[in-house]
Structure 1
Amino acid sequence: MSEAPFRKEYEPQLQRNLRTRLVNRFREKYKFMGGEEITQFIIDDILTIIEEDYRPMQMMRKGQLLWDGILIKQKRKPGRALSMKETLTKPIVLTFITDEDIEKLKSGAKMRDIRKDISERITKEAFEQGTVLNLTDVSLITTSSRGSVSGYLKEREAEKHIQLPTRGRIHDLGPSVTHKADILRMRFNKYTLMEIKRRTQHSTESIDRYHRDFDRVALLESKLSIEEISFVTGMSQRLIEEYIHLKHEMLSQDEGLGG
């Protein structure tokens, strides 16, 4: 028996879906003039984005939430010139509260300590999913002020001797070179690359870049002015000044140890 009758009867059922509705919307409401292939390509791209938003929800557990994390790898260099509209993000799942948190509260733990746990946990979870959170993200999730969140993160870092992977640190958005200095001090004190990565949550590429930049400044300091070093290297004068200060700090430490 020919397949034609069955196809005629059942084929329309395959067209009753979101893809068809979007194709019709493009053609009828937006008067899209692109051909069938281009239209389908655009629709496939839109459906992929929708799937990325909904897929994590199927795997969420009690106490978790869906958030838009800022991708670590951007097409343009991250910085203040890159607006949030131009910044690439992706949906991630964060664990806001756990049974362990509730057990701690039941035992009389202070809410400040729980918020420190949450702040540490979600910054790490975001990083593990290829994204970072900024202080505003963490403040919204923990219903705390940015100042309080900054305090939570600093206290936790001091308690555990670690650096948490916030956006300011990973994308070098902070006003100072603090995290770079910490990495370079670790190198000076002969920490292994794996230990530096574990403590700072930085990639090998970032650590190598800090080392190269520091070495360039250290080499040029005796030959060029700060303005000239800035011109040659493309680094800010402030950053160069901090690298030079760090160099002399390390030299003094080495001399104090009899090196």
Structure 2
Amino acid sequence: MRQDPFANLDKKTFRQAIIELLESEYKLLGSHKILELIANDIVELEYKYHPRKKTNQFGSLSWISTSDQNNKPKLGQKREEYKQEVIELPYVTEEDIELKRQNVSKTEHDMIRIARLTKAAKKQGAMLTVEELAAIMNRSTATISKRIGEYHNSHDDVLPLKGYILDMGRGTTHKKAIIELYEQKVQPPDIARKTNHSLNAVDRYIKDYERVKFLIRRGISTTQIKHMTGRGASVIKQYRKLIEKYHPEYFDSDNDK
């Protein structure tokens, strides 16, 4: 029978070492729940008085990634010209051990790990890529991209990936999320917070969307809108779908779909 690689990891944590010390050396026998609470309090005190250790704990991974202080890359800019940030990622955590114990599906576990890794990186001023996540998690880029799509389909936030934050590539996930929130009457500052974008970026997407919406209402075709706005066909089509969803009255049988 194949052994679960997560089976014994919870026996090697700092928290578990405290529990064993209290039992073996201090002879504090009795309710295991009480010992767990004491251990939790000691761990929190350790983090409070030695905060640096919280970023370099059990199962952490040192990584160098792109700083979120970079702007959208210029044409021909080399990867090595990006500002970099050294970060500590929560590679294997007690949450992973518990999820395995609960027999959470591999797909769900992957989504949880991707969200945890990308958000931890952003909190430390860095932005992970799909390729980096694939290397860290030992998955193909296709699998990581699929999991990211599944996450966005089931959550109302946008993962702070490099491509989304710097508006790189052909994907329109971040634009869609921003406009969905806008159409739901969420205020731009709250949209910026939820989607890990600057307020300027959010305002820019809303302005573009409103331009497209105005032109569609005037009966202008997708091809014409592309030329008039200078935006790509994929972006125009994405906005058009959103307008169809929230403003179906703008369309009639004569409009170019």
TM class by shorter chain equals 0.5 to 0.7
Counterpart residue number, 1:97:
92
Q: Secondary structure at the match of 1:156?
A: helix
Counterpart residue number, 1:162:
157
CA distance in 2, matches of 1:249, 1:106: 41
Asked whether the equivalents of residues 226 and 241 of structure 1 are also in contact (C-alpha less than 8 Å), the reply is yes
Q: Secondary structure at the match of 2:247?
A: helix
CA distance in 2, matches of 1:135, 1:80: 21
Against the structure 1 CA distance between its residues 226 and 206, is the aligned structure 2 distance closer, same or farther, given a 3 Å change threshold?
same
CA distance in 1, matches of 2:153, 2:244: 25
CA positional deviation for 1:212: 1.8
Identity of matched residues, % = 27
Q: Secondary structure at the match of 1:163?
A: coil
Paired residue type of 1:239: V
Unaligned runs of 5+ in 1: 1-55
Against the structure 1 CA distance between its residues 68 and 234, is the aligned structure 2 distance closer, same or farther, given a 3 Å change threshold?
farther
CA distance in 1, matches of 2:69, 2:178: 21
CA distance in 2, matches of 1:245, 1:69: 35
CA distance in 2, matches of 1:107, 1:150: 25
What are the residue-to-residue correspondences of 1:12-161 with 2, within 5 Å?
A: 60-75=56-71, 77-78=72-73, 81-161=76-156
TM-score (norm 2): 0.63
Q: Secondary structure at the match of 2:178?
A: helix
Paired residue type of 1:184: I
Counterpart residue number, 2:174:
179
CA positional deviation for 1:233: 5.0
Asked whether the equivalents of residues 244 and 250 of structure 2 are also in contact (C-alpha less than 8 Å), the reply is no
Paired residue type of 2:69: K
Counterpart residue number, 1:213:
208
Unaligned runs of 5+ in 2: 1-51, 252-257
Q: Secondary structure at the match of 1:202?
A: coil
CA distance in 2, matches of 1:227, 1:99: 52
Counterpart residue number, 2:48:
none
Paired residue type of 2:191: I
CA distance in 2, matches of 1:192, 1:225: 30
TM-score (norm 1): 0.63
Give the root-mean-square deviation of aligned CA atoms.
Answer: 3.3
CA positional deviation for 1:208: 1.0
Against the structure 1 CA distance between its residues 231 and 85, is the aligned structure 2 distance closer, same or farther, given a 3 Å change threshold?
farther
CA positional deviation for 1:241: 4.8
Paired residue type of 1:145: S
Q: Secondary structure at the match of 1:213?
A: helix
